[in-house]
Amino acid sequence: MTKSVLNVPDISCEHCQNTITKALTPVEGVRSVNVDILTKRVTVEYDDGAISVDQLKAILEAEDYPVESTGPA
């Protein structure tokens, strides 16, 4: 399992948190999603053989939550 932190500057409330969680949780290979509203960061634990960071970023982009930067957890 790989853990990455996605910096998403448009996170501002629980609605954002719920939307992001619902978008990523059912994706094959995603094990856990933690959205921190205060730091505007999404920590995702996933199987990098099933999904990539770029795919995670594309999913969030489609939900109108573009990722500004990524890094290891």
Q: Which domains does the chain have, with CATH numbers?
A: 2-72 (3.30.70.100)
At residue 5, the pLDDT reads: 97
How far is CA 50 from each of CA 1, 12, 26, 54, 58, rounded to the nearest angstrom?
Answer: 10, 29, 13, 12, 15
By the 8 A CB rule, do 21 and 33 touch? yes
At residue 44, the pLDDT reads: 98
At residue 20, the pLDDT reads: 98
At residue 71, the pLDDT reads: 85
pTM over 0.85: yes
Instruction: Give tens-digit pLDDT for 22-70.
Output: 999 999 999 999 999 999 999 999 999 999 999 999 999 999 999 999 9
At residue 26, the pLDDT reads: 97
